[in-house]
Amino acid sequence: MTHQFDFLVLGSGVAGLTYALRVARHGSVAIITKKERAESNTNYAQGGVAAVLSQADSADLHMRDTLLAGRGLCREEAVRKMVKEGPARIRELVELGADFTRDGDEFDLAREGGHSVSRIVHAKDMTGREIERTLLDAVSSTSNITVFENHIAVDLLTAHQAEDEEIRFRSRLQCWGAYVLNTGAARVDLFLAKVVMLSTGGSGQVYLHTTNPVIATGDGIAMAYRAGARVANMEFIQFHPTTLFGSGSPSFLISEALRGFGALLRRQDGSEFMSGYDAQASLAPRDVVAYAIDHELKKRGEEFVLLDMTHLPAPDIRRRFPHIYETCRSRFRIDIASEPIPVVPGAHYCCGGVETDLMGRTNIRGLYAAGEVSMTGVHGANRLASNSLLEALVFSASAASDSICFQEDQSDRIPRMKPWDDSGTLDSEEWVLLSHDRKEIQQLMWDYVGIVRSDARLRRASRRIHLIREEIEQFYKRTRVVDELVQLRNLALCADLIIACSGRRKESRGLFRNTDYPERNDLRFGSDTYIDEETTGALLV
């Protein structure tokens, strides 16, 4: 079956929904989402959105904090754009109906690690859910938008898939849609569009322990890479310092806002330790805190450290963090107001991704990206807390403005694309291979490509991931696709990209340490790590 729209949006988080609402005034829009429309990393965001909204703050301060956290790799023009346009994007959400927590007539601004002042707009401790609700309500009332739930994009449509041989030679780097698996009908359809927006989120499920939902399998990054897009900085995986120990998969996130509220990190014997790592102590940026916890655990042979807020007034804790308080109390039998919380780091956010410019354009014509799938340059080697939703809001809006112009300028018809061909494939009964390979990828990435890495660990991980990818590709070619197989294929490729980028950076910076190169080296590695199919021999084609 073939569907045709003016705009095709892959993903239903804050970036995809913001983009869809803006472009819907200029054409028909399809939103492809893997599960239900509300399932996204956005929905899991607890902390809030960083923005300059008080007299005590300034754009210069927000820029300074972001650049400092980024450890020398932020693109200043991208940071400046995000900080400057952020307040307007927040006000637009309020106009749409977002109910952020107030202190009288003003926003109740919180503070998080790495921020010099309070600037976090929040809806209690469920900000992502409130933003997602607001945007979904707006999408539901927009007739020009069609949401396809339980659909997963398999690959992007470029000149390689065109039926016209001349187009295959003339227009390699242009995107006209995607092959999309309808999981309910067990059928791969053609979705054609003049413009494609990647807003598929991150790849946290590459790791054994992650705060990300099970859908975060790096699909957009993998598809874009296979189509010829340039990917950058995949080595910088942010491990959130504080996830609830023993809370399962995905790990339950204990928001950075608790430390901004006054919670302290302690060893199991009750001693505070962050003041020995950074002058900001428990309010240090995430890369510092995650490394410090990891180091303390390995040094002492313990499984977790403690996040302690028992010295703070219990009513204030319950009022400010109702979701975290009730979840810990009811599901895990922990009263965070009267006992410390056992925490460990968990994979949380990919600072790299598909490289874009300031308007969300990739190096493939007609393909835009925003949100965690993209690499705009605002995060550098370490994302400042609560800048992620802000980045998604700002750059998806810019991508919408640019792609409206691009779509209107496209006088050429969309070329005829080859329909999906699964002739000669079989329904396999060997699905145990999928679950085994997924577990093996997650374990080897956790063991060898975590916060602390080495050349030997990376070489071992690279050898094993190449074998796994070969096995998956062989299975993929002879088997009818299902969503688990599509996601596993993408996970394996994203793991390979992370390993390859890590191996190229012979230093320690931001979100990871390499024990063979313990110092930061601005002279040789003060720039981004780029990778694509034509510039690397380390990855399978």
* Domain of residue 359, CATH code: 3.50.50.60
Cβ-Cβ contacts under 8 Å for 60 (sequence gap 6 or more): none
Is residue 339 one of the residues assigned to a domain? Answer: yes
Of 132-141, 169-178, 296-305, the one with minimum mean pLDDT is 169-178
**pLDDT higher than threshold 50 for residue 83:** yes
Query: 3-class DSSP state for residue 151?
Result: strand
Establish if 22 belongs to a structural domain. yes
Single residue among 346, 377, 401 that ends a domain in this structure? 346
Residue 453 sits in a domain of what CATH number? 1.20.58.100
Is residue 391 domain-shared with residue 243, that is, in the same domain?
no
Q: Is residue 296 part of a domain?
A: yes
Whether 187 sits among the annotated catalytic residues: the reply is no
What does the pLDDT look like over 22-77, one tens digit per residue?
A: 999 999 999 999 877 555 545 455 568 999 999 999 999 999 999 999 999 999 99
Q: Are residues 140 and 29 in the same domain?
A: yes
Which residues are within 8 A (CB) of 436 and not within 5 positions of it... i.e. 6 or more apart?
none
* pLDDT at residue 541, rounded to an integer: 31
Least confident of 81-95, 292-306, 336-350, 404-418: 404-418
3-state DSSP call for residue 406? helix
CA distances from 306 to 135, 274, 303, 344, 385 (A): 36, 12, 10, 9, 20
Same domain (yes/no): 275, 340: yes
Domain final position from 359, 377, 409: 409
pLDDT value of residue 45: 52
Question: What is the distance between the alpha carbons of residues 131 and 178, in angstroms, rounded to a whole number?
Answer: 27
Higher per-residue pLDDT: 233 or 38: 233
Does some domain include residue 113? no
Residue 482 has pLDDT above 80, yes or no: yes
CA–CA distance from 114 to each of 72, 309, 533 (Å)?
15, 19, 36
Residue 428 — pLDDT band, cuts 50, 70, 90? low
Q: What is the largest CA-CA distance in the chain?
A: 71
Q: Which residues contact 374 (CB under 8 A, 6 or more apart)?
A: 198, 353, 354, 355, 356, 360, 395
Region 279-289 average pLDDT: 89
Strand partners, 179: 155, 190
Is residue 144 located within the same domain as residue 212?
yes
Q: Compute the distance between CA of residue 268 and CA of residue 405 in angstroms, rounded to an integer.
A: 58
Domain termination site, one of 304, 325, 346: 346
**173 and 199 housed in the same domain:** yes
Rounded CA gap, 443 and 206, in Å?
Answer: 9
Q: What is the pLDDT of residues 325-340, one digit of tens each?
A: 999 999 999 999 999 9
**Any idea what the CATH number is for the domain that residue 319 is in?**
3.90.700.10
| pLDDT exceeds 60 at position 527 | yes
Read off the pLDDT of residues 359-384 as tens digits, 9 standing for 90 and up: 999 999 999 999 999 999 999 999 99
Q: Is residue 446 part of a domain?
A: yes
Angstrom distance (rounded) from CA 5 to CA 180? 14
**Do 39 and 144 belong together in one domain?**
yes
In angstroms, the CA 102 to CA 111 distance is 15
Range of the domain at 269: 239-346
Q: Are residues 475 and 340 in the same domain?
A: no
Asked if 361 and 341 sit in the same domain, the reply is: no
Instruction: Give the pLDDT mean for 342-358.
Output: 96
The pair of three-digit structure tokens given for residue 406, joined into one six-digit string? 């691009």
- Average pLDDT of every residue of the chain: 91
The string of pLDDT tens digits covering residues 167-213 is 666 656 899 999 999 999 999 999 999 999 999 999 999 998 898 98
Is the peptide bond between 345 and the residue preceding it cis, with omega within 30 degrees of 0? no
Average pLDDT over residues 504-525: 95
- The three-state (H, E, C) secondary structure of 441-508, written as one string: HHHHHHHHCCCEECHHHHHHHHHHHHHHHHHHHHHHHHECCCHHHHHHHHHHHHHHHHHHHHHHCCCC
Does 267 lie in the same domain as 337?
A: yes
Let me know whether 265 and 359 are in one domain: no
| Ordered alpha helix ranges (H), 8-126 | 14-23, 41-44, 59-69, 76-96
Q: Is 240 helix (H, G, I), strand (E, B) or coil?
A: strand
417 within domain boundaries: no
Residue among 75, 286, 453, 509 flagged as catalytic? 286
Q: How far is CA 348 from CA 296, 333, 464, 533, in A?
A: 20, 24, 24, 26
For 56, other C-beta atoms within 10 Å of its C-beta total 12
**Whole-structure pTM value:** 0.91
Q: Which three-class secondary structure state does DSSP give residue 332?
A: helix
141-145, 258-262, 405-409, 536-540: the lowest-pLDDT one: 536-540
What is the pLDDT at residue 335? 97
366 and 223 within one domain: yes
Q: Tell me if 107 is assigned to some domain.
A: no
**What pLDDT sits at residue 76?**
97
Helix (H) or strand (E) holding 433: helix 432-448
pLDDT level of residue 538 (50, 70, 90 thresholds): very low
Q: Is residue 118 part of a domain?
A: no
The answer to whether 369 and 360 are in contact (CB under 8 A) is yes
What φ, ψ does residue 270 adopt, rounded to 5°? 95, -5
User: CB neighbours (10 Å) of residue 20?
Assistant: 29
Q: What is the structure's pLDDT at 414?
A: 86
Q: Which residues of 177-192 are buried (b: 16+ CB within 10 A; e: fewer)?
A: bbbbbebeeeebbbbb
Number of domains making up the chain: 3
My answer on whether 521 and 445 are in the same domain is yes
CB contact set of 194 (below 8 Å; sequence gap of 6+): 6, 7, 27, 176, 366, 406, 407, 410, 414
List, in order, residues 6 or more apart from 369 with CB less than 8 Å away.
197, 198, 199, 220, 224, 353, 354, 356, 360, 362, 399
The two tokens of residue 250 are 């995905």
Q: CA angle 376-240-151, nearest 5°?
A: 60
- pLDDT at position 483, please? 92
**287 vs 119: CA distance, rounded Å:** 20
Give the Cα separation of 294 and 344 in Å (integer).
8
Mean pLDDT, residues 306-315: 96
